[in-house]
Amino acid sequence: MKKAVFLKMILICIISFNACTKVGENRNVMPTLSSSETAKYIKYAEAEGSESESTESEEILSEQKQWKVNLCADIPQPYIEVLQQYEQFMNAENRDINDENVRSKFEGGEWKDLYDELCASWSTFTENSYHYALKDLTGDDFPEMIIAYKDTPEVIYHYSETKGMGMECATSYFHMTIYENGIVEYVSAGTYSSTTYLQFQEDVGEWVVQEIIACKETRDDSGKWINEAYYTGDWDGNGRLTDTISEAEYLQIKEKYVTEPMQFEWFPLIEKN
């Protein structure tokens, strides 16, 4: 419609200016256009109209796009409700997790089961970034739901009729690995790298820390990074573990918890359009 109107205006202007110029009159007005020059203006008008229509179409599609979570077969109802909360957040007009009204929804409100770091990063990732899997990690014959960035776990949801929905997660500063023996491992980044091992404890209904170890790195004379010291114990006031241990003790602790990483069947979090 805009293109047609634009073309009409061009033609009207051409006709009007030609009609206002008398034969033999020398006036400083728009010159009469040849057929080739007229064609150039029409071609320009068509290009402008097409660009305008394209932009308008893109805006309409953007406004109409709605994210929809992908519900795999046999997913338990409690996890459907969690995924529906993510869907509501993804389609919300205000997704600023620092906003007071949004925070209230996370803190006991309608989005109480959402992992805020995933929500904070949602707008920077594509619909192919996040996946989820269902697997019994606790041995109670009811699956946990693991949400991952690509195939790296970020949050574990666990549910029981007595305790309701629970969530195990750490900040993005840590890398999570889930092992075949049910151990959850968090490894921090940095030259003072800590490793935390957790195991699900049925009586409290959550993952509980079993042991923490750390190693401090430094550069040798050639500039290569090497492990300088090893630690365990409790955290002190400076963010360091209290007890120094040998490399052999450090490796023994790792061997006690680390098995093969657990394999998962990943489903896209977002349904394909």
Q: Is 173 domain-assigned? A: yes
Verify that 49 and 133 share a domain, yes or no: no
Cα dihedral angle (259, 264, 269, 273), rounded to 10 degrees? 150
Mean pLDDT of the chain: 81
Q: Is 122 domain-assigned? A: no
Last-in-domain residue among 36, 64, 92:
64
Check whether 32 has a pLDDT greater than 60.
no
Verify that 133 and 245 share a domain, yes or no: yes
| C-alpha closest to that of 167 among 201, 133, 144, 184 | 144
Verify that 263 and 142 share a domain, yes or no: yes
Verify that 158 and 238 share a domain, yes or no: yes
Distance, CA of 27 to CA of 32 (rounded, Å): 12
Q: Is 146 domain-assigned? A: yes
Please answer whether residues 96 and 105 qualify as being in contact, where contact means their C-beta atoms are separated by less than 8 angstroms.
Answer: no
Q: Is the pTM of this model over 0.85?
A: no
Given pLDDT bands bounded at 50, 70 and 90, which one contains residue 214? very high
Q: Which residue has the higher pLDDT, 165 or 50?
A: 165
Q: Is 50 domain-assigned? A: yes
Verify that 136 and 54 share a domain, yes or no: no
Check whether 79 has a pLDDT greater than 90.
yes
Name the DSSP class of 118. H
Range of the domain at 26: 2-64
Verify that 52 and 167 share a domain, yes or no: no
pLDDT of residue 26: 39
3-state secondary structure of 245: strand
Given pLDDT bands bounded at 50, 70 and 90, which one contains residue 209? very high
Q: Is 110 domain-assigned? A: no
Q: Is 123 domain-assigned? A: no
Last-in-domain residue among 13, 33, 64:
64
Per the structure block, which two tokens stand in for 152?
Answer: 């790296």
Query: Which of 9-18, 74-83, 179-188, 240-249 is the least confident region?
Result: 9-18
Please answer whether residues 185 and 176 qualify as being in contact, where contact means their C-beta atoms are separated by less than 8 angstroms.
Answer: yes
Distance, CA of 92 to CA of 109 (rounded, Å): 15
Check whether 8 has a pLDDT greater than 50.
no
Verify that 175 and 47 share a domain, yes or no: no
Q: Is 200 domain-assigned? A: yes
Q: Which residue has the higher pLDDT, 16 or 133?
A: 133
| C-alpha closest to that of 270 among 122, 105, 156 | 122
Stretch 144-171: mean pLDDT, rounded? 94
Per the structure block, which two tokens stand in for 187?
Answer: 């490894």
Last-in-domain residue among 11, 31, 64:
64
Say which residues have a Cβ less than 8 Å from residue 175's Cβ, sequence separation at least 6: 152, 186, 187, 188, 189
3-state secondary structure of 155: strand
Verify that 134 and 247 share a domain, yes or no: yes
Q: Is 239 left (phi over 0), alpha (psi -120 to 50) or beta?
A: left
Per the structure block, which two tokens stand in for 238?
Answer: 């400076």
3-state secondary structure of 154: strand
Give per-residue burial for 74-96: e unless 16+ CB within 10 Å, then b.
ebeebbeebbebbbebbeeeeee
Amino acid at 212: I
pLDDT of residue 84: 96
Given pLDDT bands bounded at 50, 70 and 90, which one contains residue 120? confident
Given pLDDT bands bounded at 50, 70 and 90, which one contains residue 41? very low
Number of folded domains that form the chain = 2
Check whether 133 has a pLDDT greater than 50.
yes
Query: Which of 4-8, 47-51, 114-118, 268-272 is the least confident region?
Result: 4-8
Q: Is 31 domain-assigned? A: yes
Verify that 137 and 261 share a domain, yes or no: yes
